[in-house]
Each structure stands twice: as C-alpha cells, then as structure tokens.
Amino acid sequence: MATLRTCSAKALCLLLALVLLCGALSGCKPGGAPVGDGSGTAGGQESGTDAGTSGGTDPEDALLLFAPDAEPVTIWVAQSFYSDSAVKAELDIVLATVRKRTGTEPEVRSDRMAQAEDYDRPAILIGPTVFPESGQASCGVKSYDFSVQRVGNKVLLCAPEREGCVSAIRYFNNMVLTPQDKESETLVYSAGMDYRSAHEYPIDSVTVAGQELTGFRIVIPNGASNSERYLGDYLSYHLYEQYGYRLRVVTDTAKPAAAEIVVGQTNRGEQPTEDGRFSVRVQEGKLYLTAADARGYEALYDYIGSTLLKGGKGADYAFAEGYEESVPVPASLEDGTALVSERYGDVRVMFYNVFGGINEDAGPSSVRLPFQLDIFATYLPDVLGLQECSPPRYWGIGILDRLQELGYTEVPTSRGTDNFTPLFYRADRLSVVDSGHFIYANGDEADSKGVTWAVFADRETGNRFVVINTHFMYDLTVLNSNQEDRVKNAGEILELFAALEAEYGDIPMIMGGDLNDTLDSPPLDLLEQGGLSDAFSAAGYKNNCSGKHPYPVYSAAEQVFVTYYAPTEGHEAAIDHVFTNAAAHTRTLVYLTSPYALFTSDHMPVIYEFDF
C-alpha cells in the first residue's frame, strides 16, 4: 500500500487502467462476481462471508475507489432511495470517511441522471439502479437482506428494500472503507471484501410447477373488486414478510407472462368458482386463486396465511402442475359467518359502529369503507343502523351512493348528511311509515350522540315494527367511571318507546347500537327496569363475544392491515347491545368477527334477527 500512497497522478492513472484491464481479462462481467454464501441464523440475524478488513492486497486485485490524486468514482443511488433521509444519513457518513482519508469529495447522484458514457465508468451502485450490473446482481437478494460485491469496474451495494439499503451502506463504511490501512490515503475494493447478509425467513421455498416464486408477479383484474385487489396486495406483503421476496402486483392489462399468480376473475382463462367455495390450482405454470364472492375471498385470505403459505421454521411449499383444490368457505356461529347462508328470523337488523374517527394509523375511512360495504352486501340486513358515520369522513366519500347501489335507502331526517347515526333499509322489502331523529339533551361531541328511528312496514305482509339506532354518550375518561350522561340517554330512550307504543300499539320494537356500557351498569339497568329486554339473553342463536377490540394497524406503504385483533372477552364486557320490547320474538344475536370486520373498526357488526 505504501507504493500506492507515493504514486504520482500519472502513475495512478496508469495503475487504474491496468486494474480495469485486468478485471476485463479475468472475465468479471456483470452478474459474474462471486458472492459469499453466508448462512442465516435464528431470530433474523445477519451473517455472511468475511469482508476482509486489512486492506492489504495485491494492487492488481483491487479496484481503486478514492485517492488524493485520482478522480473519485461516482456514487449512483437508485431513484427510489435517493431522497430517503435514512439513506442520505448513512451516505453522509461514507462521504465523511472518504473526505477524511483522501481529501476527495465523491459525487452522489440519482441513477436517473446517468448518461450513456456513465455505464462504462467505475462506480459505486446503491440499490436497484438502472445500471445492468444492479439488475443482474440483485437477483436472489431477499427483502431484508443486502449484498456488497464487485462486478467488473463497479462496486454494488445491492438491496431491494430501504432497510437493506441502509444496512448495506453502513456495512460498506464500517467493514470495507474504515478498516483499510490507516497509513494509506487510498481506498480500494479488494478481492475478499464481497459480503452477503442472510436473514432466516419463515418460509424457505415456494415453487409452482417446479419454478421458484422469485421471478413471479401477481395479476389482478383491471377494475378489480375490493376483495380481489386486497388479496393481491396482501399476498405480495405476506410473501415479502414470510418468504423474503416482494412480488409486483399488476393488472391483467399487462401482457401475459409465464410466471404469474393470478388472483380473481381476470382475462387469463381461469375457471369459474362454485358458490360457497374458493379454489387454488396450477395450470400451465400459473397459480390461480379464485372465489365466487367477497366472503369467499375473505376466507381465501385467511386460508393463505393459516394453511396454504403458512410461515414456520423450514416451511417448504411445492405446487406441481395440475395441482387443484376446491375448499368450502367456512361457516360458523362462532364468528357469525353462518349467517351468510342462514336466516333464523323474519327480519334481520344490523347495528354497527363503523369507527368514523381520525386515527389514520388504523386505516383511513376511504380504505375501510369498501370492506364494510362488502359486509353489508354479504349479510344483507333488512335494516342497517350505523354509529360514528362521521361527516365528512363517511358522507364525503360517498357512503350514501354506494349503499344505494346495494339497494338501500336512507331513513330521512332533518339533519341530512350531518347525521352520525343514520338508519338505512331495503326499499324492495320495506316501506317507512314514520321516522324521526333527535340529539340527546346533554349532547356534545359535535352532536354525534343521538337517535334515528323509523316505523317500518313489510311490503308483502303489512307487518309493522320499529328500529331505533343510537349511540350513547362517552365519558372521554374511563368507561363506567361516570354514567350520569348515559343514564339520561337511557331515560330518553324509554320515553321514545312509550311514545311509539302509544301511537302504534303492541308491535316489535328494537333498539340497538353502541351504548358505551356493560349490562351490569346503571344506564342499562334502567332500560331493563323500564320494561326492555336484553336480546342476547333471549337469543337462541348467538356467540359469546364482547364485540370490541383494539384498533387495527394499517400500513399505507404496504396497503394492507398489518395487525388486527379479535375480541378476547365474553359478552359480559360488551358495550354494543340490542334491547327489545315483549312483542319482538328474538331469534339471533351474533357479533361478526371474521377478518373484514376485524379490519375496519374497533367494534364488531351486531346482527339481530326476530320473528313477528
């Protein structure tokens, strides 16, 4: 290294030319440089080949990077990482190291600025750049991994994702540049410095018709339904987390390719799926995932993570050509999904706090609403009462128009689209005889706590019944700590029941919604003392569920719900309730806890059915 340090500028240029010529003669073409095999270790820790930290090598084996009398190589960064603050911070450290050791200032540029002549010059390439060396050498580097290697006259810091890119730059500074001979003002990249990290992933291998999934892409229909689009995004995320590779999601307008996972009803020639089932099959090298409806895709989503591609130490999946399975969509009262195909009463009513709040980490309203609409279309309640239908977060994104597309009409109120507790009904089956709305006398919180009610008549039988949709006050402290407001709410509900009974006689009356209290609380005790009955106690078909859980967690970058929670307590902890008068013959009270319901609110839809 002393020889390199004392060379003149002319000698350095000659040496650099010899190095490049040596690299070319040795056959070190793009994609041809060896990469350390490094085996993975438990807990997702990195391991890899020894990078070599002495820097004491034969000059003929070294690629000159930075020296006082030589033009420094350019650092090209993939456009996708170029403006990232964490990447910039790590590069600043690299530049400081180079500046201190050699007195030079390398240029850092976006790969989108590269000209034709730049492709032949020595360079450091960071991330998936447009340079051909990056495209070839990045193959096989998994999502959280990175590699540092030489390909021809380039040093590549390969990483498909931001986290790996940051790690690659840090490794390059700490293990390649910093340990080199402190007496030398020259920094080189030598043989033996190549390194590849290797995390351990829950799934080791996935093959379709003998081909590893690394080269596949995910295809969804152009104009995909909410369920088809989400399954494609979820599958991409799931494989990224569990398998280490991120597969691109494209629509079927893209030219067909040999290696595809096809989701939904595309133009790729998939077969129709029987109602009540979803299917997985391999045909002509493609993996097809299809279902007949939203509930089928919801079940298929669950099946992928729990069975089809379940992560686990050493998991290895192979789907041979001709593989096919047709799976019945699960149906159970435990999660409420039995009600997709079964009705136990004359009338079905759904009450649902849709969570119209501003916690964007739990998913914007515009993301959650399509899943809620899928729920409404799947279970088709005759009457639908919503709480926290917050304007403009719900009215502003077109909930009324989209419910109308499903056949629902809103019960008219004086508040119009400023109603947080709207009531909807299937106009093909029911008509409205009378209706009303009021805000509780002690109302606050933007007048969001109130009542919408309607007297309905069955168009075929003429039978009448009342549905009251409400949201009781919330303390904004701790539930049950101060129930004075909710006691007043309960009193106003009893007054409404009395007025409607006086006007319409002994007809079924159902009141439900988010009452913000448990059954053993003073407000709900008052309702029972006033002659109303808790529907859960009378229901013959029910599940023992609290109907509430922590907020889900949504990743805007991944476009999926990365974490969601199921209720863990029994009905004794429930705060969403249904109360009735004696004329309502209760059949069913079920809290819906399938994935779409868990995604979209911290409350579960409550499905209630009764007979006349």
Strands 585-591, 541-542: pairing kind: parallel
Q: What are phi and psi of 41, to 5 degrees?
A: -125, 160
Strands 533-534, 576-580: pairing kind: antiparallel
What is the three-class DSSP state of 434? strand
| Residue 11 confidence (pLDDT) | 38
- Cα separation, 601 vs 589, in Å, equals 19
Do the Cβ atoms of 373 and 402 come closer than 8 Å? yes
Q: List, in order, residues 6 or more apart from 125 with CB less than 8 Å away.
A: 76, 111, 131, 133, 134, 154, 155, 156, 157
In this predicted model, which residue has the larger pLDDT, 421 or 140? Answer: 421
Name 511's bridge partners.
Answer: 468, 579
Neighbours of 371 (CB within 10 A): 22
| Residue 178 confidence (pLDDT) | 96
Most confident of 34-48, 371-385, 406-420: 371-385
Residue 481 pLDDT level (bands cut at 50, 70, 90): low
> Does residue 530 surpass a pLDDT of 90?
yes
Do the Cβ atoms of 129 and 77 come closer than 8 Å? yes
Distance of CA 185 to the CA centre of its chain: 49
Strands 147-151, 195-196: pairing kind: antiparallel
Q: What is the pLDDT of residues 386-445, one digit of tens each?
A: 999 988 778 788 898 999 999 999 999 988 778 999 999 999 999 999 999 999 998 667
| Residue 435 confidence (pLDDT) | 97
**Residue 171 corresponds to which amino acid?**
Y
- Cα separation, 385 vs 220, in Å, equals 33
Structure tokens, 227? 């369920």
CA angle in degrees (0–180, nearest 5) for 139-143-147: 55
- Cα separation, 149 vs 37, in Å, equals 12
Name the percent of the chain lying above pLDDT 90: 77
> Does residue 146 surpass a pLDDT of 60?
yes
Residue 3 pLDDT level (bands cut at 50, 70, 90): very low
Neighbours of 590 (CB within 10 A): 28
Residue 358 pLDDT level (bands cut at 50, 70, 90): confident
The residue behind tokens 């040795």 is 26
What is the three-class DSSP state of 118? helix
Nearest to 488 by CA among 450, 434, 538, 540: 450
Complete DSSP assignment for 468-490: EEEE----SS-TTS--HHHHHHH
Average pLDDT over residues 372-381: 98
Q: Classify each residue of 471-488 as buried b or exposed e, where b means 16 or more C-beta atoms within 10 Å of its C-beta.
A: bbbbeeeeebeebebbbb
| Residue 477 confidence (pLDDT) | 55
- Mean pLDDT for the chain overall: 88
* Alpha carbon separation from 138 to 55, 172, 355 (Å, rounded): 25, 16, 43
Neighbours of 34 (CB within 10 A): 12
Q: What is the pLDDT of residues 155-211, one digit of tens each?
A: 999 998 899 999 999 999 999 999 999 999 999 999 899 999 988 899 999 999 999
Name 249's bridge partners.
Answer: 218
Structure tokens, 83? 């403006």
CA angle in degrees (0–180, nearest 5) for 379-380-385: 100
Name the percent of the chain lying above pLDDT 70: 88
Burial of 439 (0-12, 13-18, 19+ CB in 10 A): middle
Nearest to 65 by CA among 197, 145, 184, 195: 184
| Residue 226 confidence (pLDDT) | 97
- Cα separation, 309 vs 244, in Å, equals 13
Neighbours of 173 (CB within 10 A): 18
**Domains annotated on the chain, with CATH:** 2-196 (3.30.379.10), 203-328 (3.30.379.10), 337-611 (3.60.10.10)
Structure tokens, 59? 């000059």
Nearest to 356 by CA among 444, 278, 418: 418
Residue 136 pLDDT level (bands cut at 50, 70, 90): low
| Residue 444 confidence (pLDDT) | 65
- Cα separation, 123 vs 299, in Å, equals 50
What is the three-class DSSP state of 589? strand
Do the Cβ atoms of 580 and 511 come closer than 8 Å? yes
Q: List, in order, residues 6 or more apart from 484 with CB less than 8 Å away.
A: none
Do the Cβ atoms of 376 and 406 come closer than 8 Å? yes
Using the 8-state DSSP alphabet, how is residue 18 labeled?
A: H
Q: What is the pLDDT of residues 267-283, one digit of tens each?
A: 998 888 899 999 999 99
